[in-house]
Chains A and B, each alone.
Chain A
């Protein structure tokens, strides 16, 4: 890492835009999309929008939702964000069974393998844990107080993941670090035993996922970063197994090899099937990159680049349904200052995610749930495409502002210190 002086952008957007998020139920019984404070769920079994029920009444979240996820067993769903609340929902009744208050805005959530604990990370870098006993979701738990689990000092944690065997909780931060901590039997007392640190990224780490296979049940960790790479790790030892420079491999860099600084950050990762293919979303890429992971050789390589033609679709979030072999994607943003729409969302699906098959971008008419699903999740069946390029730019700027350290030029450093008390006392 080097010290660099870069001009501060004078026109940083004061409005913090939040990217649209998508999550798919493990059995594909429902799909959820969050755009800004809106949480939209479509029940694929009944073919209609799910009605969410919460004691506090709509809107359920008062500010942008920053993380959504289904529990590994599909019984619970969690949503959390800038309104400093974490809501735990039952996926059968879509009632909010528990609301947890956070002191700070929430940036990531994770649910333990047994569904008994929900963890969330706040913007100051503290990871909290709350227990959800009787996690079948039928019993309303009311409000619960979270207890601190661990902390990344003063660093935003964009991603939190449990290892598939439930032994570890992995947290990634904007200071390029990934911490692997033993998840204890009594998490409410804190997770103090660090197993390893996975250190090699040269920019913020934005997303984490686990690749598992029969020959490696404990799983290999995959991470995506602002440094445009996807890396493969052995979490027990923290050893870096392989690195894939996705932006270059996907042909995103300009012909002279120069890339606009920080324009090709990896924004989301999703493991598919038994983990042999990994879908990667990159800023500025209208489509996704499919990486293939060889678990025994412990390597990563680019399998295919799937482009979305016909519209400017840069995915902001990915979700995979193992049973159906479909990759769900969403692009969108909470609010665009210049636009008429308060929020935008567009959902697309890629089917045929398989080593033998060819991935196919599914047309709107063939998507599960069809028009009704699109209407529910997008807010309308058809969307104004021209807004999407602006949306992609806004999301990119917001991510940079949030996760990349501000660089202050050295020439006006003295004038910035003018208001400091010890400077005022001089002369």
Chain B
């Protein structure tokens, strides 16, 4: 594409990044060994880089405040932006595999921080493969919420193993979630919805929230309304399928 003029990737009027300059395919290959920096262990995660106002320098990271919400496959950041003001005292992070999309979310957060002083300081994004590196970012029982909104369905049966919710990966998600912590999943693909629900319900470390609990949780409504994907599904009059479970301590185990 010939560049005859400088394209303004950030809109002058809103200060927000213009999505068309951050277009990427909806699908990214989770099997490819892309190269991006990954912390060797959770203690190497740079809080002062992601939350500079809260941790002005690396010395002030004392470990008392840690990331508690993780949006896995955060896409263009819709959910994170909504959660940031709903839970202003909680640190949260989005994880996204596609680099252009991650750049978009970074720009979005940076501009929101400028236009709304004091807000959006608790949210950040990182480009990473969450299927391989979750234990590198989060310590045991660190998170209180994990989100999997409209994950890639990987329709072909031979590709089911690439799904971000699987019996194996749930072991890792259970490891980083505190007992009582909640995992939220939603999709517009019915088969995937059934799959995620059954994986969660069959896993010994997760149990489904009751109807009452779902109604009482303010986050549940955001699942279908806060993101681009969710809004697109609503526009097209599609149905969504959610599965929300709590991390539990199985009765026959000690910790």
Residues from chain B with a CB closer than 8 A to the CB of A153 are: 131-132, 168-169
15 extra interface residue pairs, beta carbon distance < 8 Å, beyond A3-B36, A192-B170, A192-B204: A4-B35, A126-B168, A148-B167, A151-B168, A151-B171, A154-B30, A154-B131, A189-B204, A192-B203, A194-B172, A196-B140, A199-B41, A199-B136, A202-B40, A405-B33
Q: Which of A68-76, A174-182, A251-259 contacts B (4 or more CB under 8 A)?
A: A174-182
> A3-B36, A202-B40 in contact; A175/B132 too (CB < 8 A)?
yes
Instruction: Choose among A182, A192, A406 the residue that contacts B33 (Cβ–Cβ < 8 A).
Output: A406
Q: Are B35 and A407 in contact (CB under 8 A)?
A: yes
- A422 touches B (CB below 8 Å): yes
Interface size of B in residues (CB-CB distance below 8 Å): 34
Q: A155 at interface (Cβ–Cβ under 8 A)? A: yes
How many angstroms between the C-alpha atoms of A245 and B85 in the bound complex? Answer: 47
Kindly identify which residue among A148, A179, A193, A196 contacts B205, using a CB–CB cutoff of 8 Å: A193
Say if the beta carbon of B37 comes within 8 Å of chain A.
Answer: yes
Chain B interface helix/strand/loop/mixed: loop
B residues 12-26 near A (Cβ < 8 Å) are 25
A17 interfacial by beta-carbon distance below 8 Å? no
**Is A356 engaged at the interface, CB distance under 8 Å to the other chain?**
no
Say whether B253 contacts A193, CB under 8 Å.
yes
- B residues bordering A, Cβ < 8 Å? 25, 30-31, 33, 35-42, 131-133, 135-136, 140, 161, 167-172, 174-175, 203-205, 250, 252-253, 255
Interface size in chain A (residues, C-beta < 8 A): 37
Separation of A407 and B32 alpha carbons in the complex (Å): 11
- Please give me the residue from chain A that is nearest to B36 by CB atom: A3
What is the CA–CA distance of A369 and B17 in the complex, to the nearest angstrom? 75
16 contacts between A and B (CB under 8 A): A126-B168, A150-B168, A151-B169, A153-B168, A155-B132, A182-B253, A185-B252, A192-B204, A192-B205, A193-B171, A194-B140, A194-B171, A194-B172, A194-B174, A199-B40, A238-B140
Q: Which residues of chain A are near B140, meaning CB under 8 Å? A: 194, 196, 238
Chain A residue contacts of B30, Cβ below 8 A: 154
Question: Ordered nearest first, which 7 A-B pairs have the shortest CB separation?
Answer: A151-B168, A199-B41, A194-B175, A197-B135, A3-B35, A405-B33, A153-B131
A177 touches B37 (CB 8 A): no
Tell me, in angstroms, the Cα distance from A190 to B42 when the chains sit together: 26
**A2 and B37 within 8 A (CB):** yes
Interface centre among B133, B135, B250, B252 (most CB of A within 10 A): B135
